[in-house]
Amino acid sequence: MVAFSGSACKSGSVVSDNSAQNATANSTASSTPAAVAPQSSTNMLGQATAATPDGKNTDRKIVSNIPATMTTAKPVGTPEPDPFPARPEPPVVMKDGKIVQQWPAPADAADVVNPEKSKPEAAKMGREFYMQVCAACHGKSGQGNGPNSNYPKRDGKPLPPTNLTSKVVQANTDGELFWKITNGRSPMPAHRVRLDDEQRWFIVTFLRTLKK
């Protein structure tokens, strides 16, 4: 028992001596001025600049530590024109003071009002959807001369897409155009499968901008 107690006291002395040494070291370290690390700041243009040890900024820009190559922006390219000449416009045939449609819509479609045409972005949105589902055949400008305009056929015979800028097409009411876009007629697909009502009305609104 005595030997054990003496050993414990010696261990306690060692701990106390070490604590005193650590306290002295910490006191010495705290009294030594720390080195001032260079800092970065931001100039009036929002660009990072480096600071020297004396606190003065240099003109060196700090972008990142990853090498980068700066290139000049390229101008926006001009859209490719439609590959074929404009298709001939359908002949205008009058009856009872109205233009006869080669593809008539049901009578009740004529009075349906476009609920989207007053929206500021309607024509712009319509153009986007038109470019997605219509331009390949009808062309970017609606003249029936898109890149796929040579392929449509009906009953095995070539059937070029209609020139949408023509008087015949533009004589349709908004409701009639909407009905035709919705239901289609071979070889033109029924776009109710791909587009909802609002999107098809947007296309109708865009088609009005093609009117001559």
* Tens of pLDDT, residues 64-79: 566 555 556 656 555 6
Cα separation, 163 vs 83, in Å, equals 15
Q: Give yes or no for a contact between 48 and 61, defined as CB atoms under 8 angstroms apart.
A: yes
pLDDT tens sequence across 158-167: 899 999 999 9
Residue bearing the bigger pLDDT, 11 or 57 = 57
Domain boundaries, the chain: 94-208
Q: Residues 26, 27, 31, CA angle at the centre, nearest 5°?
A: 115
Confidence band of 178 (pLDDT split at 50, 70, 90): very high
SS3 content of the chain, % helix, strand, coil (to 5): 35, 10, 55
pLDDT at site 73 = 60
Closest residue by Cα to residue 52 from 33, 37, 34: 37
Q: Which residue has the higher pLDDT, 14 or 148?
A: 148
Which of 39-48, 70-79, 130-139 is predicted least confidently?
Answer: 39-48
34-43 per-position pLDDT tens digit: 444 445 445 4
Does the pLDDT of residue 103 top 90, yes or no?
yes
Examine the pLDDT at 3 and tell me if it is beyond 70: no
Q: Tell me which residue has tokens 């071979």.
A: 186
What is the model's pLDDT at position 87?
93
26 pLDDT higher than 70:
no
Predicted confidence (pLDDT) at residue 212 exceeds the cutoff of 80? no
Give yes or no for residue 94 having a pLDDT over 60. yes
94-208 CATH pick, 3.40.50.1360, 1.10.760.10, 1.10.510.10, 3.30.365.10? 1.10.760.10
Q: What is the pLDDT of residue 146?
A: 95
Averaged pLDDT, 7-31: 45
CB 163, CB 84: distance < 8 Å: no
Provide the pLDDT for residue 81: 81
Residue 61 has pLDDT above 80, yes or no: no
Average pLDDT across the chain, whole number: 78
